[in-house]
């Protein structure tokens, strides 16, 4: 018998998840349509729709108009990562935040950076290298290119007092971005900046952000090997 305590979309969500876990509906199976489930559990279709929509967003079911709703075959679990401002990340750990700009130069970009920023001409971009500190010790190294065509005013900013990330957040909101996570070995330069040994492993985050028309910035963050980025499933 159906649990009569189903009153909210969370209840319905939980009940459907329970059935899927209990194999009442196996992976690949078509499950009843919204209207039927709603009727069975005693809620309106709107409520059931909300429950199923959330399950679809979590990758548990797949939905198609006319095709119905089916249990995901390969549960491509979706993990949501928070991408915090580094200052907050450090301060959230109870440590004092610091920031040192090591290099600042407007220069024509190398070919790979031109490609990442989708630049055609040879106009100069702003190249920054900085280290973020936690309790005075290197936390992460940042190498960044800023496209003046996408970030108006950046060339006039001295980034010694404010990190490029925070300046960009405040002045140049982005509309989309891509991000990649990987590992690399510390080059001599990066090793020196992070005060680690050459060839130690680095956790690397590469991010490109775009405005409505042009690329705004490309940044590579290199964390020493002990760093972990965590979330839940």
Site residues for a copy of itself per CB under 8 A: 20-21, 27, 59, 74-85, 88, 169-170, 173-185, 199-204, 206-207, 209, 223, 225-233
Residue 104 interacting entry, from DNA, a copy of itself, none, C-beta within 5 to 8 Å by type: none
Point out which residues pair with 31 in neighbouring strands.
69
Residue 143 interacting entry, from DNA, a copy of itself, none, C-beta within 5 to 8 Å by type: none
> Which strands, in side-by-side order, build the sheet including 61-64?
30-31, 68-71, 61-64
Residue 183 interacting entry, from a copy of itself, DNA, none, C-beta within 5 to 8 Å by type: a copy of itself
Measured between alpha carbons, how far is 84 from 145 in angstroms, rounded to an integer? 19
Residues with Cβ within 8 Å of residue 220, at least 6 apart in sequence: 142, 143, 144, 204, 205, 206
CB of 14 to DNA, least distance (A): 11
| For a copy of itself, the closer CB: 123 or 179 | 179
| For a copy of itself, the closer CB: 42 or 177 | 177
Q: CA nearest 71: which of 42, 131, 29?
A: 29
CB of 105 to a copy of itself, least distance (A): 27
CB of 204 to DNA, least distance (A): 36
- Binding residues (CB under 7 A) for DNA: these are 7-11, 33-35, 42-47, 49-50, 52-53, 56, 63-69
| For a copy of itself, the closer CB: 4 or 170 | 170
CB of 39 to DNA, least distance (A): 10
Residue 52 interacting entry, from DNA, a copy of itself, none, C-beta within 5 to 8 Å by type: DNA
| For a copy of itself, the closer CB: 7 or 88 | 88
| For a copy of itself, the closer CB: 40 or 200 | 200
Measured between alpha carbons, how far is 112 from 145 in angstroms, rounded to an integer? 11
Pairing of strands 30-31, 68-71: antiparallel
Tokens (6 digits) for 169: 């957040």
DSSP string for residues in 116-184? HTT--S---EEEEEEEEEETTEEEEEEEEEE-TTTSTTGGG--TTSS-HHHHHHHH---SEEEEEEEEE
CB of 23 to a copy of itself, least distance (A): 8
End-to-end, the C-alpha distance of the chain in Å comes to 30
| For a copy of itself, the closer CB: 40 or 166 | 166
């Amino acid at each position: 018998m159906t649990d009569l305590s189903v009153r909210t979309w969370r209840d319905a969500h939980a009940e459907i998840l329970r059935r899927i876990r209990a194999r009442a509906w196996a992976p690949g199976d078509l499950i009843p349509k919204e209207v039927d489930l709603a009727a069975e559990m005693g809620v309106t279709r709107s409520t059931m729709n909300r429950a199923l929509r959330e399950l679809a967003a979590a990758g548990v079911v797949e939905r198609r108009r006319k095709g119905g709703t089916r249990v995901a075959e390969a549960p491509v679990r979706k993990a949501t990562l928070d991408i915090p401002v580094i200052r907050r990340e450090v301060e959230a750990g109870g440590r004092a935040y610091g920031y040192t700009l090591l290099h600042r130069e407007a220069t024509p970009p190398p070919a790979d950076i031109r490609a990442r920023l989708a630049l055609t001409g040879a106009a100069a971009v702003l190249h920054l290298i900085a280290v973020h500190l936690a309790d005075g010790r290197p936390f992460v190294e940042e190498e960044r290119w800023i496209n003046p065509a996408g970030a108006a005013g950046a060339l006039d900013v001295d980034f010694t007092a404010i990190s490029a990330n925070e300046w960009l957040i405040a002045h140049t909101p982005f509309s989309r971005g891509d991000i990649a996570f990987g590992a690399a070995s510390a080059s001599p330069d990066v090793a020196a900046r992070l005060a680690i040994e050459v060839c130690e492993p680095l956790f690397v985050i590469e991010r490109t952000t775009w405005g409505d028309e042009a690329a705004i910035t490309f940044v590579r963050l290199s964390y020493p090997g002990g760093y972990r980025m965590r979330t839940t499933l």
